[in-house]
Amino acid sequence: MWGSGYRYDESVEQLTAPVVQEAMDGESATFHGAGREDVDALMLESGRPFVIEVDEPRVRDVDTDQLEADVNEFADGKVEVEGLRLATYEMVERVKELEASKTYRMDVAFDAPVAAEALQDALDELTGATIHQETPQRVAHRRADLTRTREVYDATGELVDDRHADIRIHGAGGLYVKELVSSDEGRTEPSLAGLLGVGAEVTALDVVDVEGEDEPFEKAAFLKE
């Protein structure tokens, strides 16, 4: 049986790395992005820091403005890079090791009507909270069953109507934000659903910012998925 070796038909790496590899006449190219997301999450606004590491490049001096344009043309709107420049070894290691905090924007649906005041009270309680999360059921088949603690730095949002809300969460790297909303049948505490006493589900998820937890990350480039 033949296959591509990739879990999905198209990846960010496949839409960017081949252009860089060709421009630098390298043997291979590997994409390293800061943080990782579910396949249904979009990376928007400020973008994600990344590096593309080229093995055995025969060309080291490239026009990064032209390369940026070539990558974006090749990706055909599916991803967009900006601020592209040559990376140092220090940048490569920082991206690989970055414990990035992230800001998410989520569409949330509730099982029952929610009052604006109740939503605000719940978000206020989540702001600054330490969250205890057992490994989510949706990833338990491929990750160790552990209880992790992660911080929520800020939680804001507003109702679209009494059963839907637009929520923003800024949290520590590794925070499972879908479960922060739903509670994952009590495996995440506290949670938005638990504080409201109403079932809640994330129906759309975007990442709007990625940055170092201890200091702003000097981004070698931006990636918009």
DSSP string computed for the chain: ----S-SSS--HHHHHHHHHHHHTT-SEEEEEESS---TT-EE-TT---EEEEEES-S-----HHHHHHHHHHHHTTSSEEES--PPPHHHHHHHHH--EEEEEEEEEEESS---HHHHHHHHHHHTTPEEEEEPPGGGTTTS---EEEEEEEEEEEEEEETTEEEEEEEE-TT--HHHHHH-TTTTEES-HHHHHTS-EEEEEEEEEEEEESSS----S-EEE-
| The CATH classification of domain 12-98+220-224, taken from the options 3.80.10.10, 3.30.70.2510, 3.40.190.10, 3.50.30.60 | 3.30.70.2510
Q: Which of 25, 38, 111, 154 is an active site residue?
A: 38
Over the stretch 28-59, which tens digit does the pLDDT of each residue have? 888 877 655 555 566 655 566 778 888 888 88
Fold of 100-209: Alpha-Beta Plaits (3.30.70)
What are the C-alpha distances in Å from 154 to residues 78, 83, 126, 149, 209? 30, 28, 7, 16, 13
* 65 annotated active-site: no
100-209 shares the fold of 12-98+220-224 = yes
Of residues 39 and 221, which shows the higher confidence score?
A: 39
Q: Where are the domains of the chain?
A: 12-98+220-224, 100-209
Please state the rounded mean pLDDT for residues 125-144.
86
Per cent of the chain over pLDDT 70 is 77
Tell me the C-alpha distance between 140 and 127, whole Å: 27
pLDDT value of residue 162: 97
pTM of the model: 0.64
Please state the rounded mean pLDDT for residues 52-73.
87
Over the stretch 162-212, which tens digit does the pLDDT of each residue have? 999 999 999 998 899 999 999 999 999 999 999 999 999 999 988 887 775
- Write the burial class of residue 148 (CB in 10 Å: 0-12 exposed, 13-18 middle, 19+ buried): middle
